[in-house]
Every structure is written in structure tokens, then in C-alpha cells.
Amino acid sequence: MTGAILTVPESDDVALFDEAHRLAEELAASAGDPPAVVAVAFDGLVDPDALAAATPDEVLRVVRADERPFALGAAGVRSRAAALAAVADEPRAVLLPDTADGADLAAATAQRLRSGCVTDCLLRVRDGELTAGRQAYGGRAYAELSFEGGPPVVTLNTEALGSPATPPTGSPSIREVEVSVADDDRLRHVETFDVPEADLAKARRIVAGGFGLGGPDGFEVVEELADAVGAAVGASRPPSDEGWVAYDRQIGVTGKEIDVELYVPCAISGDSYHMRSVNADHLIPINSDPEARIFNFADLGVVGDVYEYGPVLARAIREARAETAGEQSVGESEAVSDGGERVVEPGAADPAEEVPE
Ligand SMILES: Cc1cc2nc3c(=O)[nH]c(=O)nc-3n(C[C@H](O)[C@H](O)[C@H](O)COP(=O)(O)OP(=O)(O)OC[C@H]3O[C@@H](n4cnc5c(N)ncnc54)[C@H](O)[C@@H]3O)c2cc1C
């Protein structure tokens, strides 16, 4: 198995294997025999038979000597990284899916293999060597990284991968490998909780909350508005640092880059670390400070308290939608009936203040 491309899927998703075979083909074109594509199935997490159906050259079923199953998520990263490093026999590369767990496992594995780790990248073959390409500076540049020392350990976006010119055939062998690994002794307590499913990077509409909300309860207003608009919930960095929202909600250069048709930042100042990762066809902030930088980017804005305007807007949008759908409209406030071009004062007839571009 020396020199193999190790793939560590979270399921039987064939995309990683197709990409591994494509890379093997490219490597063979510049340096002889193609490396084998070896799939790793951690006992208790992935069914080795399902992996075999996705046609790697070999499946390694990795089991623990203490007969305990491997654990998914942060609680299981240390033991899986130790197991991966133990079964990796000078691999050519280690490929994982670009998920939160994949990135954690990649980093921990690279540390044990003394290798370079690049997440959310594409691999290329340059002069017989693997290099990793990925966006840099919020998509304004493209970086290509080469690896020194150990094998590249990378996470790949499984929706943007290639496939080999000659699809693999045959039935791979399944080999069992036993490893002695321990659980993470730093863990005292594991709690599982639901995080919002919507992936911000793929969302078309986002309503986000900032530090100006003053606390986690403020996100109830943001969620209500997001629900009315049919949007995902995002945040600036301070709410995620404070633990008011899950980290994966953070928008900005150290969070997610977004590309949306509608962005509604609520109580977000518009700092450049945030705005550099915001691409929006329509940006409509709610902010109590008319001088806030966020209004420099606005198509239309609401100068006011989000606790006041958020619920009123949510109600008005719901009513407008119900009207459009031919249903009976209820409620006492005026509906936004012209595609969001007009906002409604809470309990008053005057439109909310609009901020020019
Ligand atoms: C290396 C580095 C990386 C960073 N990465 C990121 C990143 O990825 N993403 C990111 O967002 N930040 C990032 N930051 C932080 C960034 O510099 C700002 O501090 C942050 O974006 C500010 O968040 P905010 O706008 O929510 O809070 P604030 O700047 O505190 O702004 C709060 C806003 O809320 C308004 N407000 C207050 N109360 C109300 C109310 N009741 N109704 C309406 N409006 C109200 C205020 O007028 C103000 O404009 C980074 C910083 C550094 C140094």
C-alpha cells in the first residue's frame, strides 16, 4: 500500500474515489504506475461493503483493539487521526471531504504525519507532484500550494471534483487492520446539539445579526425575520465569538464568504473584515446609527432599532406573501407590497427612513 492515495469518506460518496482515480491517472502519466486508491472505513462509522461498491482498489476496515467503535465529531477526532496515521504507509496523499469533521480530522492527521494540510482545495499534478489550489483573500486571488515533507493531507469540495478518463472496474478487496488507539483523555463531557442546516455558502438569502443585538436573545428577532423572508441566519464575528450562535454562522474573512441575492445585516456595523466576504445583489441593513459604515453598501436601509423594526418587517412580509398567495391577510400593520421597496414604521403610517446609496 506504500504510495497509495488514501481516501477517508464519511459515506459511500463516490466523488472522492473518482477524484482519487483521476489523480492516480494523472500521476501515472508523469511517473509510471498509478498509485492504488485505498478507502478507509472506520469501524462503527462507515460500512466497508458500501465503500467497496464505490470501486476503490482496496478497502481498509480499521477496527480498534479495544473493540470500541470510532466516534464521529470532535470527540472522535483524536482516535481517528491516530488510527489513520497508524495505517498510513507512506501514502501519496490523504483525501477527505470538506466538511467540518473532515477538516478537523485532516488537521489532526497532518500533524501526526508531519505533513502539510490544506482545506477546501483542489489537487493538481504539476511536474509529477501534487499541488493544492484554493481561493485566497476572500476569492480575490488564487493560491497554489506545494507540499514539502510528508504527503498532502487535504479536504476537497466533493461537489467540484473530476473523474478518471477510464472508470475503474473490478471488486476491491476488504482488509481488516487493528489499531491501538485511545479516546481523547481531554474530554470530560460530550453534548450533541443541532446546528442550523442551511449552508451559508450556498444560501440565496441571508438575514444576519451583529454585536449590536446585545445578546443571544437578539437572534430570536433575526430568526423571525429570516423565517419570514425564507432566508438562512448568519452573524458577524462577535456573536459567534461570544457563543450566541454556532461558529458556522459567521460571515467574514475568518468565517464564510457569501454570494446572495438578498442580505439583511441587523445591528452589524459593516467592518471591512465582515464586508470583504459579502457579495449581495441587494443589501438592506437595519442599524440604529445613520452613520454606520454598513449603509455605504446599502441598496436600501432601515435606520432604527432592530428590536422595533425586525418584528414589524417580518409581520409585514408574511402578510404580503399571504396576500400574494391569495390568502386572507391579517394583522394591523401595513404590508410591504411592492417587492420590498418600502418599509413600515412600527404602528405608524410613515415609511421608515431610507438611506440613499
Ligand atoms: C483578524 C480579524 C479577523 C476578523 N474576521 C471577522 C469576520 O470574519 N467576520 C466579522 O464579522 N468580523 C471579523 N472581525 C471583526 C471585525 O473587525 C469587527 O469587529 C466585527 O465585524 C464587528 O461586528 P459587528 O458589526 O457585529 O459589531 P459592532 O462593530 O459592535 O457593531 C454593532 C452595530 O450594531 C448597531 N446597533 C446597536 N444596537 C442596535 C439596535 N438595537 N438596532 C440596530 N442596530 C444596532 C450599532 O450602530 C453598530 O453599527 C475580524 C477582526 C480581525 C482583527
Give me the domain span that covers residue 161: 5-179
- 61 and 165 belong to one structural domain: yes
Same domain, 33 and 166: yes
Cβ(254) – ligand 1 distance below 6 Å: yes
263 C-beta neighbours (distance < 10 Å), count: 27
Pocket test for ligand 1, best of 207, 211, 308, 355 (most atoms within 8 A of CB): 211
Q: How many domains would you assign to the chain?
A: 2
Whether residue 301 lies inside any domain: the answer is yes
Same domain, 235 and 129: no
Give the number of the atom of ligand 1 that is nearest the alpha carbon of residue 286.
Answer: 43
pLDDT tens track, the chain, 357 positions: 678 999 999 877 778 999 999 999 999 988 778 899 999 999 999 999 988 887 889 999 999 999 999 998 888 999 999 999 999 989 999 999 998 889 999 999 999 999 999 999 999 999 999 999 998 876 778 999 999 988 999 999 877 788 898 888 878 999 999 999 998 888 777 766 554 446 788 788 999 999 999 999 999 999 999 999 989 999 999 999 999 999 889 999 999 999 899 999 999 999 999 999 999 999 999 999 999 999 999 999 999 999 999 999 999 999 998 887 765 444 443 333 333 333 334 444 333 344 333
Asked if 36 and 72 sit in the same domain, the reply is yes
Residue 346 included in any domain: no
Do 169 and 218 sit in the same domain of this protein? no
Task: Answer yes or no: is 39 within a domain.
Answer: yes
Q: Is residue 168 located within the same domain as residue 55? A: yes
333 falls within a domain: no
Tell whether 222 and 168 lie within a shared domain: no
**Residue 82 sits in a domain of what CATH number?**
3.40.50.620
27 with 137, same domain?
Answer: yes
**Does residue 84 form part of some domain?**
yes
211 lines ligand 1 (CB under 6 A): yes
The pLDDT, as a whole number, for residue 138 is 64
168-172 CB contacts, 8 Å cutoff, 24+ apart = 168/17, 168/21, 168/37, 168/55, 168/56, 168/57, 169/55, 170/55, 171/52, 172/39, 172/52, 172/55, 172/56, 172/57, 172/58, 172/59
Nearest CA to ligand 1 atom 31: 269
Answer yes or no: do 124 and 234 share one domain: no
Model pTM greater than 0.75?
Answer: no
For ligand 1, atom 12, the nearest C-alpha belongs to 237
Q: Are 230 and 260 in contact (CB under 8 A)?
A: no
Answer whether 273 contacts ligand 1 (Cβ < 6 A). yes
CATH number at residue 214: 3.40.50.1220
Q: Is 241 in the pocket of ligand 1 (CB under 6 A)?
A: no
Kindly report the protein residue whose alpha carbon is nearest to atom 2 of ligand 1. Answer: 273
How remote is the CA of residue 198 from the centroid of ligand 1, in Å?
22
